[in-house]
Every structure is written in C-alpha cells, then in structure tokens.
C-alpha cells in the first residue's frame, strides 16, 4: 500500500515538473561554464579567508580560541561590530551619556595626562595599525616591547597593592590570560577599569586611543572601553599611567569606594 502511494506521488510530481529549457545533461558546455564561474568566484574568497585567518593567528592568543573556531567567532561578531572606532561622536550622544552620569561626564585625568581633558597633549605622529579583528583588537605597529610591557604590568600591580579589597589584577576578559587588566573587585560587583566618557572622548580625539569595536554594542562593553596605545617613550608612559588612574577613579567613584592611586 505504501509502495503504491509513493509510486503514484512520484508519477504525479514527474507529470507536473516544468522542464528546464536546456538541462545540464544535454548541454555540457553550459555545465562547464557554470562550474568555471563558480571556481573563479570561489578562489578569491578562499584566498581572502586564508589571509584573514593567518592575520588572526599572527595577533597571538586572546580571550577566544586561538584557532579556526576563534577566527569564526570574531568573524560573526564583525556583523554587529562598530567600524568608526576613531570617531568621538558616540561619546557626546545624550542617550549614551545619560547612563554614565554624573561620574562619566566629568574628567578624572590627573597631571600625568594633563590636568583635565583640555590639557591632554596631542599624541605625536601617526596612529598605530590596528587590524579589523573584533577579538583580539590589537595594535600591530609601534609596540613598546617587553621592557615597556613589564613596566606597565608592574604599575597595575602596584595600584592594586595600594588598594586591597578594592582592586585586583586579573586577566582581561577579551584579551585572555596573557594580558593582565586592573579590575574593580568589591563585594556585590566586579568590572574592568575604564575611563569615563569625558576622558575617553578626549583620549580618542587626541590620538591616544580608539574605541573597541564592541563598545556600546548590546551593552556588552561600556562606551568608555577604549584601546589605549602602548607608550613609546617615558613621556607617553606617564600619560598612560594617568589614563589608568583616571579609569580607577571613575569606576571607584561609581561604586562609592575611595582609592589611592598616587
């Protein structure tokens, strides 16, 4: 019974099938042309994907798997990522500023980075290159080197040591185990230290930083989450320390905690 029903259905479908003007079986040249076109289109796409994957691996391990899975994840995130990362427009948008008031709209930058946003010096020269990956988002030129990195980590650890029970050095959530970050660590809440909107706006405008591609996206990261470029000399190292202090002051002000950063 089932066999007869299936045969009848198949015959009915064959009877109502609209024949193609020229089937591929009847026209091998057409089939060859289609296959050739598909190949010509596919090869450049595969080459671009291969270059992108090699570039992703060259950035080094981060907070997502350092393999094709991680590359695919950041590729998906690019669909929602922001690409105007050097624009300051989001910082002055009232709907972005309101959730961070009153602390996010005042400056916490100290003398190390200039006494207030208006006195932060312009960063010299061109900005470093930052490839278009969402995670990790890293500069690939003008890097400070191992010695500068060691001094940066030591400064973070010193600030945390001055504020036990309030601050702690932990791996960055986005950058992974190899990149330490300064976290607010108090009962009832944790979060990475970032500058407020007023300070972040000035740092981006003066060439010291750029927004993370996920900043402000679905509230995954705050708008003040910026990528601060590595210092190239002693003067820039002092500015960088001022930025860290500003981030600590801003985050702790919102939690009602007093901190020692000098």
Q: What is the pLDDT of residue 54?
A: 96
What pTM, to 2 d.p., does this model score? 0.79
Q: What is the pLDDT of residue 63?
A: 86
> Strand pairing of 209-211 and 167-172?
unpaired
**Residue-wise pLDDT tens digits, 100-146:** 888 888 899 864 454 455 578 999 999 999 999 999 999 999 988 88
Token pair for 42: 């596919």
What is the secondary structure of 172-231 as a DSSP string?
ETTTEEEEEEEEEEETTEEEE----HHHHHHHHHTTSEEE-TTBTSTTSB-TT-EEEPPP
Helical (H) or strand (E) element with 171: strand 167-172
User: What phi and psi, each to the nearest 5 degrees, are found at residue 145?
Assistant: 95, 170
Q: What is the pLDDT of residue 9?
A: 43
CB atoms within 10 A of CB 176: 17
Least confident among 18-22, 82-86, 116-120, 198-202: 18-22
- Sorted by sequence, the CB contacts under 8 Å of residue 253 that are 6+ apart come out as 103, 108
What is the secondary structure of 111-168 as a DSSP string?
GGG-SSGGGPPPPPSPPPP--S-SSS----SS---HHHHHHHHHHHHHHHHHSTTTEE
Of 101-105, 190-194, 198-202, which one has max mean pLDDT? 198-202
């Amino acid at each position: 019974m089932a066999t007869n029903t299936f045969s009848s259905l198949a015959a009915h479908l064959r009877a109502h099938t609209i024949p193609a003007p020229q089937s591929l079986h009847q026209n091998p040249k057409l089939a060859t042309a289609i296959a050739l076109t598909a190949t010509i289109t596919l090869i450049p796409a595969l080459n671009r994907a291969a270059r992108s994957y090699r570039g992703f691996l060259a950035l080094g391990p981060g907070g997502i798997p350092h393999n094709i899975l991680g590359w695919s994840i950041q590729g998906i995130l690019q669909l929602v990522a922001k690409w105007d990362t050097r624009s300051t427009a989001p910082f002055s948008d009232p709907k972005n500023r309101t959730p961070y008031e009153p602390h996010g709209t005042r400056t916490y930058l100290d003398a190390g980075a200039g006494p207030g946003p208006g006195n932060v010096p312009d960063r010299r020269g061109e900005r470093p290159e930052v490839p278009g990956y969402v995670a990790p988002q890293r500069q690939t030129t003008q890097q400070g080197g191992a010695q500068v990195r060691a001094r940066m980590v030591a400064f973070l650890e010193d600030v945390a040591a001055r504020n036990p029970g309030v601050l702690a050095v932990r791996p960055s959530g986005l950058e992974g185990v190899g990149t330490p970050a300064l976290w607010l660590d108090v009962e009832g809440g944790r979060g990475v230290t970032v500058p407020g909107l007023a300070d972040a706006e000035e740092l981006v405008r003066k060439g010291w930083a750029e927004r993370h591609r996920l900043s402000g996206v679905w509230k995954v990261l705050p708008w003040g989450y910026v990528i601060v470029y590595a210092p190239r000399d002693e003067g820039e190292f002092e500015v960088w320390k001022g930025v860290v202090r500003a981030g600590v002051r801003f985050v702790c002000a919102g939690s009602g905690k007093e901190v020692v950063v000098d």
